[in-house]
Amino acid sequence: MLTFRSISALTKYLDKFSDSEAKIGFVPTMGSLHEGHISLVDKSIRKSTITVVSIFLNPTQFNDFKDLKEYPVDHNADFRTLKVYDDQLILFTPEIKEIYGNNVKTKKFSFSGLDKYMEGSSRGNHFNGVITVVERLFEIVKPDYAFFGEKDFQQLRIIELFVKDRSLSIKIIRCKTKRSCDGLALSSRNKKLNNSSKKIASNLYKALRFARDNFNSLEISEIISNIEKKFQKISGISLEYFLIADESKLHPTNRKSKGIKYRAFIAAKINNIRLIDNINLN
């Protein structure tokens, strides 16, 4: 497995394929890899000629320095996980200065309202930070395909909008959320949960499944009210939001319309570990 830490070395290597029919697949990560990440890597390897995986803990998308400092990091484990791919992928592990130089600054973008609700309402400048680094990584790697998981669906939609608005020749590939046997969406933050907390966290998926199972028979307001009441009775978990929104504009709604795809979104804290999840409803 080829590993690059500098932009110049990576781009020099990738330039060799610029005049060929080769297709570059890109899987950007913040490390602390799990089976969800691996499913993206596997999909890229199947679809692309060359797969680049980046590991970069991006400081600009964290509103809370404590959250950044406590984010799970295990570079040795990540390297062992990817090493089994041998020559099937390229690993890019830049330092902060390599990406941002001496000026770690978040750029401002317009997201046409996709950032107004859910994570946008609670995490301030988060999505500006995400797109700041995504834009930079896209400039470096110049991928034909980029693979993102549906677990962070709002982020996925914002990246799709960014690519469309900039007329970039990058195809964003949506990848299904990977889950543990109890339904809990795989996340790097899960590593901070003990077994008891993981059991409590499984209630997020139960809520989403309830919404899906009852979407055709109950009004949206009834679904939301039912779930909020259930969470009030569960100890050890604090529901931050549960809402249903259209998949395109991500506007929360209490009314169903024909021909519109809907998705349920949830965020909650278990022992101060914040988890998010979502599921398509129709």
Phi-psi label, residue 57: left if phi above 0, alpha if psi -120 to 50, beta otherwise? beta
**37 has catalytic annotation:** yes
Task: Tell me the C-alpha distance between 29 and 40, whole Å.
Answer: 10
Residues paired with residue 105 on neighbouring β-strands, in sequence order: none
Q: CB of 137 within 8 A of CB of 28?
A: yes
Q: How far apart are the first and last CA of the chain?
A: 41
Q: Fill in the amino acid letter for 17.
A: F
Q: Which of 37, 75, 126, 251 is catalytic?
A: 37
H or E segment and range at residue 35: helix 35-47
Q: CB of 114 within 8 A of CB of 265?
A: no
Known catalytic residues are: 37
